[in-house]
Amino acid sequence: MARDRLCVVVTRRLPEQVEARMKDLFDVRLAPDDGPMDRDVLADAMQSADILVPTLTDRIDAALLAGAGDRLKLIANYGAGVDHIDVATARQRGILVSNTPDVLTEDTADMGIALMLAVLRRMTEGMAKMQDGVWEGWAPDALLGTRLAGKRLGILGMGRIGQAVARRARAFGMEVHYHNRRRLHAGLEEPLEATYHDRLDAMVTLADVISVNCPHTPSTFHLLNARRLKLMKPTAVIVNTSRGEVIDENALTRMLRAGELAGAGLDVYERGQGVNPRLRELPNVVLLPHMGSATREARVEMGEKVLINIQTFADGHRPPDLVVPAML
Ligand code: DGY
């Protein structure tokens, strides 16, 4: 396929240098303004494009894919998670899907640790005192939190990001436990001194901190449901930088309100921006607006990955970051 004839549609504004490179390489249609693309506009784009570059704010379901034009051959997602794309249907229709793994691993892991510290060390409560000008000075019992060192961290999903969280957690003196579809090989597990649990219930029961790092798929939806959340110690906290759908948010909210869990640090929510308003009222909950990978470096590197995936495809090869349904 001749690269110069490829029509690439990008649904959101991307970093300037990424857009400039896209313009150099392809017949590209860039988003005029930033904001989630309207579904009708997206449907039109999928009619005429050879390659679509969406983000997680575009829901590319079976109905949209059914209306895609014959030219559409690659969905080069700007992002690692692909739960907004019906990958299996795309595959059936001969449309490849690629993503941008690796480049947001370290930043997302940093945010996981930041959330643990923020919740356990009560940072937002301290900050509120300073901002409200109501600090009464140092006191032996003021804003006492909990230390990370010596605590058991249970990582749900030990892929790239889970392992990056584990490395950081070791540096903080935490004990690493994990649950994953498959056990890591010894070469990865041993340096982390990580304990594998093939039963999630067992890990949830012993953890002081749970970090959610698995993708959202049909088999991980509500993996942390009301029954499992109730297995957690009342002193435990939960951190989620992956996808909100992995936790039953209403059950979590009820338990936090009832004091059956000590706290939560959340960067993602079950209903996207529709955060349960009751979560916002809780002092032991730190809420962030899905910013785990939000560094300038990651955003540019994500764009570079998209470019490589498109170029490799245009040169007649398999994109390096191809997502196949069996991986999900
Ligand atoms: C991703 O790439 O899926 C991230 O969630 C975006 O921050």
Domains and CATH numbers, the chain: 7-103+295-327 (3.40.50.720), 105-287 (3.40.50.720)
The answer to whether the beta carbons of residues 203 and 175 sit under 8 Å apart is: no
Atom of ligand 1 nearest to the CA of 82: 3
Pocket of ligand 1 (CB under 6 A): 56, 79-81, 104, 290, 292-293
Q: How far is the CA of 62 from the centre of ligand 1 (A)?
A: 21
To 10 degrees, what angle do helices 16-25 and 296-314 make? 10
Q: How far is the CA of 136 from the centre of ligand 1 (A)?
A: 40
DSSP conformational letter for 325: G
Atom of ligand 1 nearest to the CA of 99: 2
Ligand 1 pocket test, candidate residues 53, 104, 268, 309, most atoms within 8 A of CB: 104
Q: How far is the CA of 101 from the centre of ligand 1 (A)?
A: 9
DSSP conformational letter for 43: H
The length of the chain, given as a count of residues: 328
CA distance 175 to 195: 9
Buried b vs exposed e over 26-35: b needs ≥16 C-beta within 10 Å?
bebbbbeeee
Q: How far is the CA of 290 from the centre of ligand 1 (A)?
A: 8
Q: What residue has token string 């979590």?
A: 252
Q: How far is the CA of 21 from the centre of ligand 1 (A)?
A: 22
Q: How many Cα atoms sit within 13 Å of 29 on the Cβ side? A: 18
CA distance 73 to 171: 44
Q: Summarize pLDDT for 179-228 with one digit per residue, the tens.
A: 999 999 999 999 999 999 999 999 999 999 999 999 999 999 999 999 99
Residue 297 confidence (pLDDT) = 98
Q: How far is the CA of 243 from the centre of ligand 1 (A)?
A: 9
Residue 5 confidence (pLDDT) = 74
CA distance 203 to 54: 36
Count the Cβ atoms, other than its own, within 10 Å of residue 155. Answer: 30
Q: Is residue 253 packed enough to be buried (19+ CB in 10 Å), middle (13-18) or exposed (0-12)?
A: buried
- CA dist list (Å): 111 to 35, 57, 162, 241, 265: 24, 21, 12, 7, 10
DSSP conformational letter for 185: P
Residue 3 confidence (pLDDT) = 44
The sign of the torsion formed by the CA atoms of 185, 187, 188, 193 equals positive
Query: What are the pLDDT tens digits along the chain (328 aa)?
Result: 444 579 999 999 999 999 999 999 999 999 989 999 999 999 999 999 999 999 999 999 999 999 999 999 999 999 999 999 999 999 999 999 999 999 999 999 999 999 999 999 999 999 999 999 999 999 999 999 999 999 999 999 999 999 999 999 999 999 999 999 999 999 999 999 999 999 999 999 999 999 999 999 999 999 999 999 999 999 999 999 999 999 999 999 999 999 999 999 999 999 999 999 999 999 999 999 999 999 999 999 999 999 999 999 999 999 999 999 876 6
Q: Mind giving me the DSSP string for 137-177?
A: ---TTTT----STTPEEEEE--SHHHHHHHHHHHHTTPEEE
Residue 328 confidence (pLDDT) = 66
Atom of ligand 1 nearest to the CA of 79: 2
Give the pTM. 0.96
* The two structure tokens encoding residue 17: 């240098």
Ligand 1 pocket test, candidate residues 56, 160, 240, 306, most atoms within 8 A of CB: 56
Q: Considering only CA atoms, which residue is closest to atom 5 of ligand 1?
A: 81
Residue 1 confidence (pLDDT) = 46
* The two structure tokens encoding residue 190: 């041993």
Ligand 1 pocket test, candidate residues 241, 293, 299, most atoms within 8 A of CB: 293
Atom of ligand 1 nearest to the CA of 293: 7
Q: Considering only CA atoms, which residue is closest to atom 7 of ligand 1?
A: 293
Question: Rounded to 5 degrees, what are φ and ψ at 137?
Answer: 95, 170
To 10 degrees, what angle do helices 105-120 and 160-171 make? 50
